[in-house]
């Protein structure tokens, strides 16, 4: 795909999210050629957050929200860790050994025998009090990427592709009904989580506290506003990808979808850093993942590429 073609900044900004961009946000979308990673270290301002007065004036129909399969009540903190996984704060040995077996099998597919993983950990909601029926086992293989190769970004891309392939091939792999999602984590990566359990050591590296996960101190109208807004943008881009035939316009759709995906990820990352798991924009991201719209953005990229490079 031709990534050097220039587009109108106003066109891209308007389609990607809204008019409220600072210089860092424009950089993150490639409008000035800088990478998203550079932007993610900058504290991004909250975007169009509704105050109480505005929230009261915002209306949503029950049908519109229900059609998108999202219920904020599922984010309410639990009173205990999942009882089938944890006994008196320690992991069910059967679960621990099974996760280690899965991790070992996945590690073999990485084909980097010269490097030993630093640890195998469980993180995410099932290692915390914010689990729900939508949770999965976030199984992280911790490796020092620099020990694999000096080209750390190349290593990350390689591991991400291996992770994606494994997760796609083992979509039916579940423990007590929860999917197992593997991920290769750089040992030098800053990881935001209030619950981290070492499967290798069989002990907590960071034990969650009940009070660390608070009931959503959020404006539910803000969350719904953002989710529905993103859903509308993504659905419109998806429709364009399906119906458009002009190559240049298809490239523009792909660019907008990619920029939108980066923006959502950046919002989530900043929310996790500043407010933790219950931050508003992290909940927005999770909502979009549940409705399938995060995956839809990836599908747009593939669909546009295939249409552009096909010969009829």
pTM for this structure? 0.61
Cα 200 to Cα 83: distance, rounded to the nearest angstrom = 21
Cα 221 to Cα 226: distance, rounded to the nearest angstrom = 9
Cα 112 to Cα 107: distance, rounded to the nearest angstrom = 8
| pLDDT for the residue 65 | 52
Question: For residue range 266-289, what is the model confidence (pLDDT) as tens digits?
Answer: 888 888 777 777 777 888 888 888
Q: Which residues contact 244 (CB under 8 A, 6 or more apart)?
A: 250, 253, 307
pLDDT mean over 220-242:
85
Cα 223 to Cα 226: distance, rounded to the nearest angstrom = 5
- Count the neighbouring beta carbons within 10 Å of the beta carbon of residue 243: 7
| pLDDT for the residue 219 | 61
Cα 304 to Cα 310: distance, rounded to the nearest angstrom = 10
45 — pLDDT class (breaks 50, 70, 90): very low
Question: How is 73-109 classified by DSSP, letter by letter?
Answer: GGGSPPSSS-TTTEETTEE-HHHHHHHHHHHHHHHHH
Question: For residue range 237-259, what is the model confidence (pLDDT) as tens digits?
Answer: 999 999 988 888 888 888 888 88
Here the contacts of 243-246 (C-beta below 8 Å, separation 24 or greater) are 244/307, 245/307
Question: For residue range 130-172, what is the model confidence (pLDDT) as tens digits?
Answer: 888 888 999 999 999 999 999 999 999 999 999 999 999 998 9
Q: Which stretch of 88-97, 208-217, 278-287 has the lowest confidence by average pLDDT?
A: 208-217
């Amino acid at each position: 795909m031709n990534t050097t073609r220039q587009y109108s900044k106003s066109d891209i900004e308007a389609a990607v999210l809204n008019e409220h961009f600072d210089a860092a946000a424009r950089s993150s979308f490639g409008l000035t050629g800088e990478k998203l990673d550079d932007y993610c270290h900058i504290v991004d301002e909250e975007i169009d957050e509704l105050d109480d007065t505005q929230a009261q004036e915002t209306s949503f129909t029950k049908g519109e929200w229900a059609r998108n399969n999202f219920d904020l009540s599922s984010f309410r903190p639990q009173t205990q860790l999942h009882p089938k996984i944890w006994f008196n704060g320690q992991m069910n040995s059967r679960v621990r050994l099974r996760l280690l077996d899965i991790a070992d099998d996945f590690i073999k597919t990485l084909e980097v025998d010269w490097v030993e993983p630093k640890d195998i950990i469980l993180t995410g909601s099932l290692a915390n009090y914010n689990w729900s029926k939508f949770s999965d086992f976030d199984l992280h293989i911790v490796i020092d990427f620099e020990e694999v190769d000096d080209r750390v970004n190349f290593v990350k891309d390689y591991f991400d592709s291996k992770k994606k392939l494994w997760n796609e091939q083992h979509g039916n792999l579940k423990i007590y009904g929860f999917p197992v999602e593997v991920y290769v984590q750089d040992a030098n990566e800053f990881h935001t989580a209030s619950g981290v359990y070492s499967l290798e050591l069989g002990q907590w590296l960071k034990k969650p506290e009940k009070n660390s996960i608070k009931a959503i101190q959020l404006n539910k109208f803000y969350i719904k506003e953002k989710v529905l807004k993103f859903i509308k943008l993504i659905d419109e881009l998806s429709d364009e990808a399906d119906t458009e035939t002009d190559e240049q316009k298809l490239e523009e759709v792909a660019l907008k979808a990619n920029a939108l995906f980066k923006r959502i990820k950046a919002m989530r990352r900043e929310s996790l850093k500043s407010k933790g798991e219950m931050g508003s924009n992290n909940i927005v991201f999770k909502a979009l993942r549940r409705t399938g719209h995060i995956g839809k953005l990836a599908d747009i990229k593939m669909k546009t590429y295939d249409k552009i490079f096909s010969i009829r």
